[in-house]
Amino acid sequence: MDLVVVVILQVVASVASLALISVGLAVIFGMMRVINLAHGEFIMLGGYAVIYATRWGVNLWVAMLIVAPLFVGVIGIVVERAVIRFLYGRMIDTMLATWGLSLLLIGAATMIFGNTTTGVSAPLGGISIGQYQTSLYELVLAVIVALVLVGLMVILKRTKAGLIARATMQNPSMAASLGISTSTVYSVTFGAGAALSGMAGALIAPLSGVLPTMGISYVAKAFITVISGGAAIISGTLSASALLGSLNTLATFAATPVIGEVVLLLTAIVLLRILPQGITGKYFRRAL
Amino acid sequence: MSKRWRTGLSIIAFIAAAAVIYILPSVLELFAIINATIYVSMAILALSLALIWGAGGILSFGQAAFFGLGGYTYAVAAINFGDSTWAVVLAMVVPALFAALLGYFIFWGRIGDVYLGVITLTMTLILYKLFNATAGDAYTIGKARLGGFNGIPSTPPLNLPWDVGTALMPEEIWYIAAGLLLLFYFGSRWLLSTAFGRVVISIRENERRTELLGYDVRRYKLGIFTIGGAMAGVAGILFANCVFVSPTMFSLFYNAQVIIWVTVGGVGTLFGPIVGAIALQMLVAKLGTMNGLDPNVVRGAILILFVLLVPKGIMPVLQSAFERLRARSPVPPEPAAPRSVAPPVPKHEAGKPEAALTVGGGS
Amino acid sequence: MDTKLDRRRLLKATAAVAGAAAATGPWFIRDLHAADAIKVAGIHDASGGLDLLGRPMIDVLTLAVEEANAGGGLLGKQIELINYDAQSNIQYYTQYATQAATKDKVAVVHAGITSASREAIRPVLRRFNTLYFYNTLYEGGVCDRNCFCTGSTPAQTVEKLIPFAMKKFNGKKIYTLAADYNYGQITSKWVKKYTQDEGGTIVATDFFPLDVTDFGPTIKKIQAAKPDIVMSVLVGGSHISFYRQWAAAGMKKEIPMASTTFGLGNEHVVVSPEEGNGILASYAYFDEVATPANKEFLARYHKRFGAKAAPLTEVAAMTYHGFALWSAAVKKAGTTDRMKVIAALESGLSFDGPAGKTTLDPATHHDILDVYIGEVENKKFKLLKSFSQQKPADTAAVCDLVKNPNDNQQYIIDVKV
């Protein structure tokens, strides 16, 4: 019985972490059709932001939820202004440019931070469930991810900024003729996506540590999750994370981590064969 | 350019390239020949992507899957047979079959665009993870241990067909590699000039229209995809001969690298990606001998600058410069292809029809 | 590439100038030695995922060469060090090894971190008759007269670590976590053998690809199995997350841990004291070894690379030892000729350095060395025990280069369990 509870908690934690590392990419892809291959490095920068902020005495939670997203969000806006905006409508070129950015950031981080940066420990300690122990932080993380997704939904659905963003996403020329500066919208959206990636990096830093090359572990997984989810940002990310994350965890429990990863990847392939536009290309089409 | 003129130019280019390949070993030191062989094997890999992406419009994110499969098949077969002859044949057949199966899965499922990219990438990552997980004793095929992350270091070198005693020297492997590159390059140009090639190019230009003209586009895509897979397999064989096979051949790094070479060289051309592959390989190898600056910074900066400033790649730019010079006309002949206009177009890189048909005027 | 003739002429001219300069007086040599120097190549990863191991190795090799040059060089000549960055990519190991052997024509190559990189370099250097030193601890079994392995192997470290951990933690049931490649697979077999020799049992052995970062399910599996000790053979930056997640789940105080790899990539500095304290590890060198030789060595290292330079681990110390052993052999042989230097190295040559006394075993070309067991305490290792002059018994079981000088392979040592 304890084992069942523990496995369920583990599945929830895995789904949450998959959704967390994918949501930033999903915002940028869903709103702008830009696949940001520097996504992993935005995660990495979020991690470093937390480490340095806490080192300078900022409270850990403030660092994770405010400082890191702000820092990476600003970097995102700079990147958008300097590189991405010249490449709208050229999906492959943006992928290549962001791939270049990814290499550049890895190299720069190696030169600046070195590779023996001390991380931060996970707060909150562990809790016991029968004979098992699990990290309370992982569970809190799942709650935070849920709140972030709900928050994102509220912003997109209920605020004026969200309305403008959705309008621009659906019909940029119409939005522009209504007096909306689409360029600003794109810029802000990219910054918001980057900020979410930065927050993801900040939140996983206590569990995974921070290294200049850490982004590589996440970018392919996030990429696959987002594409499997389809164009809808929130429901797409959530449904794809739920499917892939839970299968991955169950397979890992039943067999080995390698089998877990392979099951995740095979599921994505089969999914795209059946639903070539991703999950939300077929279901929840009107959702966000 | 008249057609006759162009054929003549091609023949001259072929002879010149053959002469350079022949002379090189007597001019260069051994290490340069070995490195050149590695670069040439990479150039063949780049050419295989140039064929399916540049000409066929199929952006595969997993071209390294065929490259790695070719290398592994060669190593396993050569170790077991003791003779490389059938190993070479197998190492072309296996990637081609894999490409055919994967292509069937993709094209008959009508998957295109970025989704196709994700499927091919995911496929490669699966192979990467599976081959990485073969470090245990259980993973032995005949006499060959797959070796997991460490790969198969003791890959036998090529020998003369059915003559196990005569293992080839580095110079001879160079002749084979460079000869194959030459063969594949001119072979690809010929292929694109056949009826089959014309249809493949027309699919890239407008898939719907080609289909309405009565062609089964799925078959043509499958055809070019399979040919590209076999070619990448050959690149894998050569790589196995100069470096050795390990799961990194399937890694994200190699997959992305091929795309970078093709982009830098010029999508839609056949010669550009060859130049891109060789030039960037030389540059990156150079970076490792300069201490201080992280090579990733340079590599990343080059890629960003290229995408921003030379988005069409080296070859088309060089070519138009050359044409301009020849015609002495101040107006550059821009490729006037209709680019798809709608802003968030997933359809990539439309405007390169001219390039694909005419580019590649030899060296 | 096409200006070969010109280049050759240029080289000759440069050599002539350098020669003339050298003839005018020895103090010019230090500046204009390029043509007349003894060349040494280092190929390590200074970038990419493995740079956390590679950079200290490069630094220490640089330090060793600079010290040798400051002391008058070797055989009256200066040493020129060529450092290649293999960028954590096997392909470049092959390329640079070929370049070092055939273009630079170096006297010796110190290179390689992973076993994969070593197996890429080894055949190249053997083919081009260039002496090769591999200075990393590894799974053992390399048998090649052209190659010297100065790092420790499982029979030297794991053999001591397991009984020590079982006694200290008073436990018999061990759960092994290992990186899924040759080193992890083979080392986990040694762990099993030594555990059973001590009357213990292995509850389970799990293997992890090098890029795994999520250890949640594994931690639950360990909890279900209830072992007395967790043995970690995890490798690399991604696997560090295991130690964090282990601590975050509150397991630190439940089950103690020992490791054959923790600390080698400065993991004990990267994780916090709460996450790292109490983990046992065993190496042929620790930064904390309190001998005068090591203290002086560290002082020189920090003077050269700054007080904040990364703490040194076995791979760096053995790179220093490897270079010292080679230069001692060159002095003894009076030449850099490969076969003569090999003969000198096979004469039971020793070097007393930061890691104590290391002696090359002629039969296996591996080091006989001192082994230490340390416990992590606030980002440092507290040394608990040392074992003097351990022999490479694992490799010795399969390899005898005195009897079979032409042997050339890495044996997969069949561990009897």
Per residue in B271-281, pLDDT (tens digit) is: 889 998 998 88
Per residue in B33-49, pLDDT (tens digit) is: 888 898 999 999 999 99
Closest residue in C to A12 (Cα–Cα)? C216
Supply the pLDDT for residue C106. Answer: 92
The residues in A 224-263 lying below 8 A from C, measured between CB atoms, are 249, 252-253, 256-258, 260-261
Contact A104 B59 (CB under 8 A): no
Per residue in B173-231, pLDDT (tens digit) is: 889 899 999 999 999 999 999 999 999 999 988 888 988 998 999 899 999 999 999 99
The residues in C 385-404 lying below 8 A from A, measured between CB atoms, are none
d(CA C53, CA C317): 12
Which one of B31, B258, B278, B283 would you mutate to disrupt binding with C, by most C Cβ within 10 Å of its Cβ? B31
Q: Is C50 on the interface with B (CB under 8 A)?
A: no
Place of tokens 């707060």: A123
What integer is the mean pLDDT of A146-168? 85
What integer is the mean pLDDT of C253-276? 85
- Residue A1 banded pLDDT, cuts 50, 70, 90: low
Place of tokens 């057609």: B3
Q: Is A35 on the interface with B (CB under 8 A)?
A: yes
Q: Is A171 on the interface with C (CB under 8 A)?
A: no
Whole-Å CA distances, B256 to A95, A99, B65, C166, C284: 10, 8, 12, 47, 40
Total CB pairs under 8 A between chain B and C: 113
Supply the pLDDT for residue A282. Answer: 66
Beta strands C366-377 and C380-390, pairing class: antiparallel
Average pLDDT of chain C is 83
d(CA B69, CA B102): 13
Contact A265 B129 (CB under 8 A): yes
Q: What is the DSSP secondary-structure string of A168-194? A: HHH-HHHHHHTT--HHHHHHHHHHHHH
Q: Tokens for C323, please give them.
A: 């270079």
Beta strands in C64-150 (DSSP E): 79-85, 108-111, 131-134, 142-144, 147-149
Cβ atoms of B68 and B258 within 8 Å: the answer is no
d(CA C39, CA B290): 17
Cβ atoms of B161 and B85 within 8 Å: the answer is yes
Contact B38 C95 (CB under 8 A): yes
Residues 6+ apart with CB under 8 A from B281: B38, B39, B42
Question: What 3 state SS string does chain B have?
Answer: CCHHHHHHHHHHHHHHHHHHHHHHHHHCCHHHHHHHHHHHHHHHHHHHHHHHHHHCCCCCCCHHHHHHHHHHHHHHHHHHHCCHHHHHHHHHHHHHHHHHHHHHHHHCCCCCHHHHHHHHHHHHHHHHHHHHCCCCCCCEECCEECCHHHCECCCCCCEECCEEEEECCHHHHHHHHHHHHHHHHHHHHHHHHCHHHHHHHHHHHCHHHHHHCCCCHHHHHHHHHHHHHHHHHHHHHHHHHHCCECHHHHCHHHHHHHHHHHHHHCCCCCHHHHHHHHHHHHHHHHHCCCCCCCHHHHHHHHHHHHHHHCCCCHHHHHHHHHHHHHHCCCCCCCCCCCCCCCCCCCCCCCCCHHHHHHCCCCC
Q: Write down how long chain A is.
A: 288
d(CA B90, CA B85): 9
d(CA B170, CA B121): 33
What integer is the mean pLDDT of A27-49? 88
Contact B300 A93 (CB under 8 A): no
Supply the pLDDT for residue A269. Answer: 83
Q: What percent of chain A shows pLDDT beyond 90?
A: 14
Chain B residues with CB inside 8 Å of C210's CB? 132, 149
Q: Tokens for B263, please give them.
A: 């982009």
Question: Residue A60 burial (CB < 10 Å; 0-12/13-18/19+)?
Answer: middle
Contact C245 A207 (CB under 8 A): yes
- The values of phi and psi at residue C368, to 5°, are -95, 120
Q: Which DSSP state fits A200?
A: H
What integer is the mean pLDDT of A13-38? 87
Residue B357 has pLDDT above 60, yes or no: no
Q: Is C389 on the interface with B (CB under 8 A)?
A: no
Q: Is C87 on the interface with A (CB under 8 A)?
A: no
Find, among A31, A43, A16, the residue nearest to A241 by Cα. Answer: A16
Q: Tokens for A260, please give them.
A: 């877990």
d(CA B232, CA B67): 5
What integer is the mean pLDDT of B135-160? 79
Q: Over the Cα atoms of chain A, what is R_g? A: 19
d(CA B201, CA B66): 22
Q: What is the separation, in whole angstroms, between the first and last Cα of chain B?
A: 17
Per residue in C285-304, pLDDT (tens digit) is: 988 888 888 899 999 999 88
- Positive or negative, the CA dihedral B279, B282, B288, B291 is negative
Find the CB nearest B135 among C84, C85, C180: C180
d(CA C264, CA C266): 5
CA dihedral C325, C327, C330, C336 (to 10 degrees): 120
Per residue in A169-220, pLDDT (tens digit) is: 778 788 878 887 878 888 888 999 999 999 999 998 888 878 888 887 788 8
Cβ atoms of B100 and B117 within 8 Å: the answer is no
- Residue C23 banded pLDDT, cuts 50, 70, 90: very low
Chain B residues with CB inside 8 Å of A97's CB? 303-304, 307-308
Which one of A86, A91, A189 would you mutate to disrupt binding with B, by most B Cβ within 10 Å of its Cβ? A91
Contact C114 B253 (CB under 8 A): no
Cβ atoms of A229 and A280 within 8 Å: the answer is yes
What integer is the mean pLDDT of C70-85? 88
Per residue in C194-220, pLDDT (tens digit) is: 888 888 888 988 888 887 888 888 888
Residue C317 has pLDDT above 80, yes or no: yes
Beta strands C350-353 and C356-361, pairing class: antiparallel
Contact B148 C210 (CB under 8 A): no
Model ipTM?
0.80
Supply the pLDDT for residue A288. Answer: 60
CB atoms within 10 A of CB C63: 20
Contact A115 C55 (CB under 8 A): yes
d(CA A63, CA A60): 5
Find, among A162, A145, A146, the residue nearest to A154 by Cα. Answer: A162
**What is the SS3 assignment for C206?**
strand
Find, among A145, A261, A133, the residue nearest to A202 by Cα. Answer: A145
Chain B residues with CB inside 8 Å of A99's CB? 256, 260, 303
What integer is the mean pLDDT of A207-234? 82
Residues 6+ apart with CB under 8 A from C90: B151, B243, B244, B246, B248, C116, C117, C120
Supply the pLDDT for residue B353. Answer: 37
Query: What residues of B are in the C interface, CB distance below 8 Å?
Result: 27-32, 34-35, 38, 129, 132-133, 135-137, 145, 147-151, 153-154, 242-244, 246, 248, 253, 284-285, 287-289, 291, 294-296
d(CA C342, CA C338): 6
CA dihedral C171, C173, C179, C182 (to 10 degrees): 110
**Partners for B (CB, 8 Å, 3+ pairs)?**
A, C
d(CA B295, CA B171): 30
Q: Which DSSP state fits C282?
A: E
Contact B118 A224 (CB under 8 A): yes
In DSSP terms, which residues pair with A128 in a beta bridge?
A: A133
Q: Over the Cα atoms of chain C, what is R_g? A: 22
Supply the pLDDT for residue C14. Answer: 44
- Angle, to 10 degrees, between the axis of helix B217-242 and the axis of helix B84-107? 140
Find the CB nearest B125 among A33, A86, A265: A265
Chain C residues with CB inside 8 Å of A120's CB? 272
Per residue in C354-410, pLDDT (tens digit) is: 988 899 998 889 999 899 999 988 888 888 888 888 888 888 888 888 888 888 878
Per residue in C223-244, pLDDT (tens digit) is: 888 899 999 998 877 788 888 8
Find the CB nearest A106 among B118, B259, B296: B296
Find the CB nearest C216 among A3, A13, A120: A13
Q: Is C62 on the interface with B (CB under 8 A)?
A: no
- Positive or negative, the CA dihedral C73, C75, C78, C82 is negative
Residue A127 has pLDDT above 80, yes or no: no
Find the CB nearest A262 among B130, B298, B349: B130
Tell me, rounded to whole angstroms, the distance of Cα B359 from its chain centroid.
17
- Angle, to 10 degrees, between the axis of helix B271-287 and the axis of helix C90-98? 70
Total CB pairs under 8 A between chain A and B: 131
Contact C91 B243 (CB under 8 A): yes
Q: Which DSSP state fits A267?
A: H
Residue A44 Cα, gap to closest chain C Cα (Å): 13
- The values of phi and psi at residue A28, to 5°, are -70, -40
**Partners for A (CB, 8 Å, 3+ pairs)?**
B, C
Supply the pLDDT for residue C6. Answer: 46
What integer is the mean pLDDT of B229-241? 92
Contact C92 B244 (CB under 8 A): no
A50: number of CA atoms within 13 Å, CB side?
33
A271: number of CA atoms within 13 Å, CB side?
30
Find the CB nearest C270 among A118, A213, A217: A118
Residue B352 has pLDDT above 80, yes or no: no
